[in-house]
Amino acid sequence: MSLQVIKSGFLSLVQDYGRYGLQSIGVTNGGPLDEHAFLWANRLLGNDYNAPQIEVSYGAFSATFLDSTMMAICGADLSATVNDLAIKPWQSYTVHAGDTISFKAPVTGLRCYLAVKGGFTVAPTLGSCATVAREKLGGITQDGEKLVEGNLVKYFPQPHELTKRVPSSFVTGHSSEPQPSESTSQYPKKINLRFIPNTSVTSAGEEALHTFTQYPYKVTPHIDRMGYRLSGAVINTPLAGIISQGISLGSIQVPKDGQPIVLMRDRQTMGGYPLLGCIAYVDLAKFSQSLPGTELSFTPISVEAAEAELIVHKCFFGVAH
Amino acid sequence: MNIFRVSENTVIILFDQVIDADNFSVIKQCVRNIKTSVNDKWIADIIISYASIHITFNLLAVSGIDFTRALKLALLLSNGNDANNDNADKAESDQCSPSNTIEIPVYYGEEVALDLVHVANNANLTKEEVIAIHTSQIYDVYAIGFAPGFAYLGNVDTRIATARKPTPRQKVARGSVGIADQQTAIYPSESPGGWQIIGRTPIQLIDYNSANLTQFTAGDKVNFTAMSQAEYLQMGGEL
């Protein structure tokens, strides 16, 4: 009735779609960094969009299925194997009692989602089992702890069905250019991200926006579930800080050193740095998979265009809100 | 005030970018009007702060344009009220939906008040005077953030306002009461932090297992009362 963790990996976390409605008391959303991959894994298995999965970051994770079921992996290629036979992401698989799945090291991307049919059975805290270490919320121990060796992550055994695969046009579905699903370049070394510019008094300013859109930026090694730090041309802003205010997912902050930070799922609910804008929600999936060194370029998008894309995305996957 | 679309499903209402009680009472009035006149199924999350209201809306229930329009209408109501209100009316409207005033007992003893001496020296006051000033005021809860249940309270009397520590502490104990410039706050859980610590409360500020979760929310009022070591220990305080 469970998946037994053999090797914990660098950071393997139980995540559902996230924790909502509690930002007023300072509780962040949590949830999958790559929502696109997460939602596909649930969709392949016919699960509810919110069904809990394991987000495996960087690899070095292995676990044994104690009962047979259907499972799916989507997202990064972390050179996964089942009983030492290589398997590819974006597909569902049958597994038998005693089968061991392992994720070794990233081939492309950083985070792979492991789902089972029906979802893992994890008790929610504050309405969600999303693991947020800083807030001591979620996970199988309900206190924000990551998975460790010996943990049992419960699920209900399921009969085998035909396996399914994500259509190749959706695998890179992060971009409109179709690429073969076998391609290892699903998360390329250079990506373009669209962002909704900040037009308010908290904006880092015209000159800052100009610098940000004219020069390439690189993903630094300082990336975690709270935020991704970028490096590149120094962004000068006339504002040293702003009065702390609520912060949206994907916000691009400019701290004093002029090197932007993009705020992710586990961000603090409030922040006090000038803001360049907000990365388009649907572009955060591929961004969250980008390795240190990935080259980024940024183009403005209107909020209306981005909103339409997000509605389509949520409707496609049956997300309720 | 102005409404800005921040992202696909978030907007921010920006007020005068100042930290003061009058500005904040306008914000509180706006929040009340939004809550009464905007369909609550449209609002997914709301973050009130010193000079802004950040709202996540449910874009599957309402479009950004329609939501912004509904907000504008709600804010027009707030403006209208303001224009007609003299201070007496304001007091009255505050009474209509009164803010809770929550009393927080604090032990200001030296075992827990790690920076009380520094704050006193910095202010050229005695420790007792600092405590008297800190407990003499009723503070607004301007915002909750940084960590679950962490409440930013203001404004601290300028006489005891003290800058943050140059190097933050690795660990600040749960319940610690701190000062940073004209703000004061209580650490709801153990965490790193750079505020000047002047006391500690035995009250639990966040409890994930309780229906209320937190003792207060943005818009409430708080005042501190001094307690003895014996009272502190009796209420479960730790030294």
A-contacting residues in B 102-131 (Cβ below 8 Å): none
Q: Cβ of B47 and A311 within 8 Å?
A: no
Mean pLDDT of B202-223: 90
**pTM for this model (two decimals):** 0.92
pLDDT 10s per residue in chain A (321 long)?
Answer: 899 999 999 999 999 999 999 999 999 999 999 999 999 999 999 999 999 999 999 999 999 999 999 999 999 999 999 999 999 999 999 999 999 999 999 999 999 999 999 999 999 999 999 999 999 999 999 999 999 999 999 999 999 999 999 988 888 544 444 444 444 457 899 999 999 999 999 999 999 999 999 999 999 999 999 999 999 999 999 987 889 999 999 999 999 899 999 999 999 999 989 999 999 999 999 999 999 999 999 999 999 999 999 999 999 999 999
HSE-up of A225 (CA within 13 Å, CB side)? 27
A201 closest CB neighbour out of B5, B17, B189: B17
A-contacting residues in B 151-180 (Cβ below 8 Å): 152
Write down the pLDDT at residue B168. 85
| Burial readout A77-87 (b: 16 or more C-beta within 10 A, e: otherwise) | bbbbebeeeeb
A-contacting residues in B 27-56 (Cβ below 8 Å): 44-54, 56
Distance from CA of A123 to the nearest CA of B (A): 13
Stronger pLDDT, A182 or B21, i.e. the higher one: B21
What does the pLDDT look like over A180-221, one tens digit per residue?
444 445 789 999 999 999 999 999 999 999 999 999 999 999
- Neighbour-count burial of A180, counting CB atoms closer than 10 A to its CB (0-12 exposed, 13-18 middle, 19+ buried): exposed
Q: Cβ of A25 and B148 within 8 Å?
A: yes
Distance from CA of A82 to the nearest CA of B (A): 38
Write down the pLDDT at residue A30. 98
Q: Cβ of A245 and B5 within 8 Å?
A: no
B214 touches chain A (CB under 8 A): yes
Write down the pLDDT at residue B79. 66
Using a CB-CB cut-off of 8 Å, the residues of chain A touching B152 are 244
Write down the pLDDT at residue B167. 87
Enclosing H/E stretch for A166: none
Strand blocks (E) in chain A: 2-8, 11-15, 53-57, 61-65, 69-77, 80-82, 85-86, 91-95, 100-103, 108-116, 152-154, 190-197, 217-223, 227-232, 245-246, 251-253, 261-263, 270-271, 275-279, 295-300
**Chain B: residue nearest A279 by CA?**
B7
Residues facing B4 on adjacent strands: B12
Cα A252 to Cα A76: distance, rounded to the nearest angstrom: 24
